[in-house]
């Protein structure tokens, strides 16, 4: 590891180190949200609610593909950071090569098994007669290009895991910029609609993946994509999948929850589904900022879990303070201008009202969501596989029954409020587990959770 990255892991002031690791991640993820918002905006200029609905319905599929990338990326990344903290540099090469070629194999499996099931997948996503054709077009392109999307998420994680936070950010920003440019071309020049938007997403992920591979081959001291050092053994598989599988399951639950949520919302009309799709994209901006903060420091927590547990504790404490500040600021802004934000995407009055209402409700749990992501990051970084697994399923397990009951009791309002309830439950479970594990993680963590 070069001296600069080692300095931020071991010696820099906590605020400076957190900024080094988290700010690039926050900026990169915020750019991804900006793209997601612009994506919906570009489709909105076509004044076709069915296209907006298709865009919302395909979110679960993207979540599954992303989950496969994170299965290997986050699992390998956390292991790589711990190996660096233990000075086991040669083992890092084996893990990065394993992650690279395993992700390619998984991506190809998605293509082989996904494309023949195209129509059933579209039906399963909940497309109706109006949105079926648009949804099918989008799903077809996403499945065909899934190896590149999966590879991007894996590479972004392992590049960040060795301390190259700026490089990780640049790859995410490159992805977004290419995507936005292609979106404008395919929509306003070629008029390809939903097929063009999906194609732009695949191509941009391919370009960003190539950027990461170039960095690994020519700039990284320990990461590699060489098949010559590919190695698979019990230690690599157990450490990668111990953290990766809970992340995968969590992402699957997110996709499943989005799917189930859409199925409940469709009962209240396409405006409800489209309104949730728009508000979800807007909510992603502060959520991804907080997620970028919490995920950005995971390599620092993992490294210092092996090297300096007191520094790990200080990092966690500082991050909690930042979550409080950011959640307060974002919440105030949204409650002041929510109608105007939704109005950027549509002129439909009912859609604006529904979207604004959803924003108001879901923003209530923004701080809780941020802390919950931090809990999950701590468990991932410190190899607490069981706790990470529980965090991966608790929100989904909670949401499904709460969603059903709330819908029966209070209809549309109950459906929306079920999100807040599941967020609160996940937060409480995470806090309890962190308290139970405080001595195992490190004795001084008691001062954080006591």
Say which residues have a Cβ less than 8 Å from residue 30's Cβ, sequence separation at least 6: 285, 288, 289, 292
Mean pLDDT across the stretch 406-430?
87
Q: Please, what's the largest Cα pairwise distance for the chain?
A: 61
More confident call, 155 vs 247: 155
- Report, as an integer, the average pLDDT of 344-372: 81
pLDDT higher than 50, residue 449: no
* pLDDT band at 254; cut points 50, 70, 90: low
35 HSE (CA, 13 A, CB side): 25
Task: Note the pLDDT tens digit of each residue in 157-213.
Answer: 899 888 888 898 899 889 989 988 998 999 888 888 889 989 999 999 999 999 999
CA distance 433 to 437: 6
Res 358 pLDDT > 60: yes
Cα separation, 269 vs 71, whole angstroms:
35
pLDDT over 70 for what percent of the chain?
Answer: 94
Helices 298-307, 146-161: inter-axial angle, 10-degree rounding: 40
pLDDT digits (tens, 9 = 90+) for 298-343: 888 888 887 788 888 889 999 999 999 998 898 888 888 877 777 7
pLDDT at 181: 92
Confidence of residue 41 (pLDDT cuts 50, 70, 90): confident
Whole-number Å distance between alpha carbons of 285 and 282: 6
In Å, how far are 196, 197, 238, 367 from 190, measured between CA atoms? 8, 11, 48, 42
Q: How many residues are there in the chain? A: 450
Provide the pLDDT confidence category of residue 32 given band limits of 50, 70 and 90: low
DSSP assignment string, 349-410: HHHHHHHHHHHHHHGGGHHHHHHHHHHHHHHHHTT-HHHHHHHHHHHHHHHHHHHHHHHHHH
Q: Please tell me the predicted confidence (pLDDT) of residue 85.
A: 82
Euclidean distance between CA atoms 387 and 383, whole angstroms? 9
242 pLDDT higher than 60: yes
Average pLDDT over the chain, rounded to whole? 84
* 3-state secondary structure at position 348: coil
pLDDT mean over 31-44 = 73
pLDDT range class, residue 150, cuts 50, 70, 90: very high
Please say if the pLDDT value at position 2 is more than 60. no
pLDDT exceeds cutoff 60 at 122: yes
Residue 218 CB neighbours (<10 A)? 7
Q: The domain containing residue 89 runs over which residues?
A: 3-449
Mean pLDDT of 238-243: 86
SS3 328: helix
Instruction: Report residue 4's pLDDT band, with 50, 70 and 90 as the boundaries.
Output: low
pLDDT of residue 51 exceeding 90, the answer is no
Our count of domains for the chain comes to 1
**Confidence check: pLDDT of 291 > 60:** yes
Only one residue has tokens 């053994």, namely: 233
**Which residue has better confidence, 171 or 60?**
171
Q: Which residue has the tokens 């391919």?
A: 206
């Amino acid at each position: 590891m070069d001296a600069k990255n080692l300095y931020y892991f071991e010696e820099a002031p906590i605020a400076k180190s957190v900024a080094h690791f988290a700010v690039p991640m926050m900026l990169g993820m915020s750019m991804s949200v900006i793209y997601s918002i612009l994506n919906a905006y570009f489709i909105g200029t076509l004044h076709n609610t069915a296209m907006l609905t298709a865009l919302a319905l395909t979110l679960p599929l993207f979540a599954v593909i992303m989950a496969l990338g994170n299965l290997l990326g986050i699992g390998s990344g956390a292991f790589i950071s711990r190996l660096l903290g233990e000075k086991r540099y040669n083992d890092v090469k084996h893990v990065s090569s394993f992650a690279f070629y395993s992700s390619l194999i998984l991506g190809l499996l998605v293509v082989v098994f996904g494309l023949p099931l195209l129509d059933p997948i579209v039906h399963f996503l909940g497309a109706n007669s109006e949105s079926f054709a648009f949804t099918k077009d989008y799903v077809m392109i996403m499945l065909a290009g899934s190896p590149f999307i999966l590879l991007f998420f894996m590479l972004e994680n392992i590049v960040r895991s060795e301390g190259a936070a700026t490089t990780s950010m640049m790859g995410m920003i490159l992805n977004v910029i290419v995507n936005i440019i292609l979106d404008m071309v395919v929509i306003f020049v070629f008029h390809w609609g939903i097929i063009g938007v999906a194609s732009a997403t695949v191509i941009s992920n391919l370009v960003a993946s190539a950027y990461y591979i170039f960095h690994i081959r020519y700039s990284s001291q320990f990461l590699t994509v060489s098949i010559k050092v590919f190695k698979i053994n019990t230690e690599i598989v157990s450490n990668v999948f111990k953290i990766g599988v809970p992340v995968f399951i969590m992402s699957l639950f997110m996709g499943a929850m989005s799917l189930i949520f859409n199925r409940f919302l469709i009962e209240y009309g396409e405006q409800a589904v489209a309104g949730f799709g728009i508000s979800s994209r807007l909510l992603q901006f502060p959520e991804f900022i907080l997620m970028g903060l919490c995920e950005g420091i995971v390599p620092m927590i993992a490294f210092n879990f092996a090297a300096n547990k007191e520094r790990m504790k200080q990092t966690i404490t500082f991050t909690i303070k930042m979550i409080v500040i950011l959640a307060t600021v974002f919440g105030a802004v949204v409650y002041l201008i929510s109608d105007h934000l939704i109005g950027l995407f549509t002129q439909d009055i009912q859609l604006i009202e529904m979207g604004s209402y959803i924003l108001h409700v879901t923003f209530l749990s923004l701080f809780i969501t941020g802390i919950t992501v931090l809990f999950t990051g701590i468990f991932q970084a410190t190899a607490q596989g069981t706790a990470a697994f529980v965090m991966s399923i608790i929100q989904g397990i909670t949401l499904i029954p709460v969603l059903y009951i709330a819908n029966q009791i209070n209809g549309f309002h109950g459906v929306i409020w079920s999100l807040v309830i599941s967020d609160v439950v996940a937060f409480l479970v995470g806090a309890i587990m962190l308290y139970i594990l405080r001595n195992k993680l490190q004795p001084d963590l008691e001062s954080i959770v006591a």
